Amino acid sequence: MALSVVSGWEMASKQALGRLALPDSARRWLPIALAELRCEPLELTLDHAIEAALLPLHHRDPFDRFLIAQARVEGLTLVTSDRSLSRYEVEILRA
């Protein structure tokens, strides 16, 4: 199982804006949560960035575009509750 560093970036950003409550700072909480879940961080690569740039503009949220790109490049299933992402050719598991 993997968690994109993009998701970590988004969580930390939302916490900083007061839009996401976490048990501790994202800096302290995320590594602990990943270890407990036996989840590896999925780094962002040049291939992911290029794929994100080449995606159709169905969705303009940069976080979501990077997540879609990573799922496509890595052949992963994207876990999301955002139904608008189903317009992309990527396997989605509804959360």
Query: Which positions ≥6 away from 87 have C-beta within 8 Å?
Result: 56, 58, 59
Q: Which of 88, 38, 35, 93 is nearest to 66 (CA)?
A: 88
Tokens linked to 51? 């794929």
pTM equals 0.89
> φ and ψ at 50, to 5 degrees?
-65, -45
Q: What is the pLDDT along the chain (95 residues), one digit of tens a residue?
A: 899 999 999 999 999 999 999 999 999 999 999 999 999 999 999 999 999 999 999 988 999 999 999 999 999 999 999 989 999 999 999 98
Tokens linked to 69? 């790109």
